[in-house]
Structure formats: structure tokens, C-alpha cells
Amino acid sequence: MKKNIIVLISGRGSNLKSIINATKDKNYPASISLVISDNKNALGLRIAQNNDINTLIVEREAFTNIYSFEKNLIEKITFHSPYLICLAGFMRVLSNKFIDKFRGKIINIHPSLLPKYKGLNTHEKAINARDEYAGCTVHYVTEQLDSGKIISQQKIRIEKNDNIETLSKKVLEVEHKIYPEAIKLLLS
């Protein structure tokens, strides 16, 4: 029996797509019961709909404050009682209350070799620092940004002629591999 997970997105949804593709294997331990976006224009919503997955738009602007926004989010998520809440390009920092409610169940993919380069512009930072390697990390979400326990990580070499664009493309390919694998690892 597959375990249900919820994916939270804000945009393009390429990681969502890689998870959806993985769930199509009958031996994969997870299925997606709901995709939530905080942006009604997120491309990922269309990807979910094209794959007959329930979607929900919960936009911050529709609520008077962050607490009522998250209260709504928590209610919707609790209704599905997911095994995991997978952030995939979800561009919002979650409050302590939210994290506490689902502690140990919220995971995220981040495009750097954490603990290096938390936050945004990770590829630019790696190139500017003349790092030999870049990569991506799947980790638990805790109160501190991009600081939760690491679940899996993969590195790739930064070539001399790499720029932000080429590097982000290479790292994204690896993200699409390790995120579905990490979910499988956690639910098997």
C-alpha cells in the first residue's frame, strides 16, 4: 500500500514532476494525494493537473496575516494526514508553529551542498567562491533555514567554463534524481 505525501510548490515544478514520475512505478512507496501552491500561476499546478493529482491554491494575500494563512494550510494538510510534506521550490519560510505541528515530516530540496550556501543564489555563490564542487541536498525542515538534518546529498564537479545557468541546469538534473530517491528511502 502506497503512503500518501503532499508536495508544496511555488513555481516551475520540475522537482514535483520528477516525484510524480517516480510514483508511477507500482513499487514506489509513495503517492501524491495533494499539491499545494501558494502561487496561482505556478506552472507546477498544471503538471499536477495533467497527472490527475488534486491541487489547491493557498495564497498568502487571501489572508490577513501569516497565522491565518498557515492555519488554513495546516487544516488542509491535516485532513490528508500525509506521511511526508515535501517542499519542492516552495518559496515561503514556514513558522515555528507550522514546523512543530508536522515535525519530522517536512523535507526540502536545496540546490547546494549544505551546510554551505543556505538561502538563495547558491550557484552564484559556489562559482564566485571558485568551489570545486556544487550539488544539492535533501534535508529535514526545522526552524532554522536550510539547517535541518541531511537526508541525502549529491555533488557534481564545477567545470572551468560553467556559469550560473549551466551549473543550475546540471544541479537540477541531480535534484530530480535524489529527491524521489530520498522519499523512497524514508518511506520504505
Closest approach of ligand GRF to the CB of residue 170, in Å:
11
Q: Which triple of cell numbers denotes residue 169? A: 541546469
Closest approach of ligand GRF to the CB of residue 5, in Å:
15
DSSP one-letter code for 72 = H
CB 167 within 8 A of CB 123: yes
Q: How far apart are CA 160 and CA 181, in angstroms?
A: 29
Q: How far apart are CA 77 and CA 30, in angstroms?
A: 16
DSSP one-letter code for 118 = -
Interface residues toward ligand GRF, by CB under 6 A: 9, 11-16, 44, 88-89, 109-111, 136, 172, 175
Query: Is beta strand 106-110 parallel, antiparallel or unpaired with respect to 84-87?
Result: parallel
Residue 110 falls in the annotated catalytic set: yes
CB closer to ligand GRF out of 55 and 71: 55
Q: How far apart are CA 33 and CA 116, in angstroms?
A: 33
CB closer to ligand GRF out of 77 and 136: 136
Which candidate in 110, 123, 139, 176 is catalytic? 110
Which residue is at the shortest CB distance from ligand GRF? 89
CB closer to ligand GRF out of 72 and 168: 168
Closest approach of ligand GRF to the CB of residue 90, in Å:
8
Q: How far apart are CA 80 and CA 6, in angstroms?
A: 8
Closest approach of ligand GRF to the CB of residue 126, in Å:
13
Q: How far apart are CA 38 and CA 129, in angstroms?
A: 33
The catalytic site residues sit at: 110
